[in-house]
Homo-oligomer: A and B are copies of this chain.
Amino acid sequence: MKKILQELINGNLSMEEAEKMLKTMQISELEDFAKLDTARDVRTGFPEAIFAEGKDDSDLVKIIQGCAKRGRVLVTRLEEDRYFKIKDELKFLHGEGFKVEYNNKARILLLKDVEIEKQGKIGIITAGTSDIPVAEEARIVAEEAGCEVLTSYDVGVAGIHRLFSQIRRMLEEDVKAIIVVAGMEGALPSVVAGLVDVPVIGVPTSVGYGVGAGGFAALNAMLQSCAPGIAVVNIDNGFGAAVFAATMVKQTVK
């Protein structure tokens, strides 16, 4: 601003020109304010993420193409058959330096131009084998967000002894957070949080039937846990748990 005023005084700028320049500057500051860019800058570590469900194939391809111009892209909840349908339309990305990886368990399509450096570790545990897809979604998202991930699947409370050595290993590896994925009665996060001193992020899954259908029994059990140090995300929301965990981990390495 000083510079503009100086130019005005110096007569290099007419008052109209000065006024216009100040206003332009001001608008861009207004926009900066609204955008709170400081926040955004820090976020650039994350790839852009697209939720495929509820978008039709042609829209999806267009959105992917748009995002790919700005770097890595992560497409979640993309069923395998849909992936095969749109695969060819994404071929051109190879030419632009992208690696295209599809993980059918996690139902994630990953378009990568650069490898991301890993900083900080998290653990991911599932109660059963049916919870693995949600855990895999979380794993890939967390890795792409720059975390190293330790996994231990199918160690539910019904046979609690399987759990102990896994927890110990994760603590020894100094994980900064543990994501616990569980459907059915959702008891595992409570048990884990009773054993560890790192934050536990509970992810209820829609694995269950009868009163457990849809994952609500698991969700409520996690929210109502009598063990402290648990926070919860939406049912089947492996993505959200991973972003949350990675955001936490970033605080520890700043």
Q: Are B226 and A127 in contact (CB under 8 A)?
A: yes
Q: Are B35 and A161 in contact (CB under 8 A)?
A: yes
Encode contact with B along A38-51: 1 for CB under 8 Å, 0 otherwise.
Answer: 11101100100100
Does A95 make an interface contact (CB < 8 A)? no
A198 to B167, CA, bound (A): 26
Copies in the complex: 8
Given contacts A190-B187, A197-B39, A226-B185, contact A1 B29 (CB under 8 A): no
A243 to chain B, nearest CB (A): 4
Q: Are A29 and B31 in contact (CB under 8 A)?
A: no
Encode contact with B along A230-254: 1 for CB under 8 Å, 0 otherwise.
Answer: 1111111101110110011011101
Please give, as numbers and ranges, the residues of chain B lying within 8 Å of A216 by CB-CB distance: 211, 220
Q: DSSP class of A's interface residues: helix, strand, loop or mixed?
A: helix
Does A146 make an interface contact (CB < 8 A)? no
A252 to B216, CA, bound (A): 33
Given contacts A160-B194, A196-B39, A231-B231, contact A185 B251 (CB under 8 A): no
List residues of chain A with CB under 8 Å of any chain B CB: 1-2, 5-6, 8-9, 15, 18-19, 22-23, 26, 29-31, 33-36, 38-40, 42-43, 46, 49, 53-55, 59, 63, 127-130, 156-161, 164, 167-168, 171, 176-177, 184-187, 190-191, 193-199, 201, 204, 206-237, 239-241, 243-244, 247-248, 250-252, 254
